[in-house]
């Protein structure tokens, strides 16, 4: 049950971020859920391998390389999903990643306050 709620919440976050960020587009809430799954899988598999290889550089740049890898994984997800999820370029994907992270931060803070 927790996985389904997390999946729906991720879809909502992706949909809101696509609405806020100019140049990012998702074809409906169902595709936002699929986009969240694709971004999560790509980020876990390909992004995990890239983070492993770039660990020393990531450590030297205080995590900037990790953020760039996340942006690249969003762009890879864009190319995998075709016209259902579109991001216009690197800077749009970077803004999309920032908006998603900020929304997740606020929702994470709200859920941790509720559990306390």
Contact 40, 70 (CB under 8 A): no
Inform me whether the pLDDT recorded for 42 exceeds 70.
Answer: yes
Residue 56 CB neighbours (<10 A): 9
Q: What is the pLDDT of residue 113?
A: 61
pTM of the predicted model as reported, rounded to 2 decimal places? 0.89
pLDDT tops 90 at residue 29: yes
Tell me the pLDDT band of 3, cut-offs 50, 70 and 90.
confident
DSSP string, 9-24: HHHHHHHHHHHHSTTE
d(CA 40, CA 4): 14
Mean pLDDT of the region 20-31: 95
In this prediction, residue 112 has a pLDDT band, given cuts at 50, 70 and 90, of: low
What average pLDDT does the segment 68-87 reach?
95
Residue 37 has pLDDT above 90, yes or no: yes
The confidence score (pLDDT) of residue 115 equals: 59
Chain centroid, CA 1 distance in Å = 22
List the one residue out of 80, 94, 69, 72 whose CA is nearest residue 38. Answer: 80
- Which ranges constitute the DSSP H helices of the chain? 2-20, 29-53, 55-60, 64-81, 90-115
Residues 115, 72: Cα–Cα separation, whole Å: 34
pLDDT of 116 above 60: no
């Amino acid at each position: 049950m927790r996985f389904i709620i997390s999946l729906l919440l991720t879809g909502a976050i992706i949909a809101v971020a696509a609405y806020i960020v100019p140049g990012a587009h998702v074809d409906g809430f169902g595709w936002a859920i699929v986009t969240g799954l694709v971004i999560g899988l790509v980020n876990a598999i390909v992004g995990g391998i890239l983070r492993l290889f770039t660990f020393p550089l990531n450590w030297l740049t205080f995590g900037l390389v990790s953020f760039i890898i996340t942006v690249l994984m969003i762009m890879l997800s864009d190319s995998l999903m075709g016209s259902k999820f579109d991001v216009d370029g690197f800077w749009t994907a970077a803004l999309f990643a920032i908006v998603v992270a900020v929304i997740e931060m606020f929702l994470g803070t709200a859920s941790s306050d509720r559990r306390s």
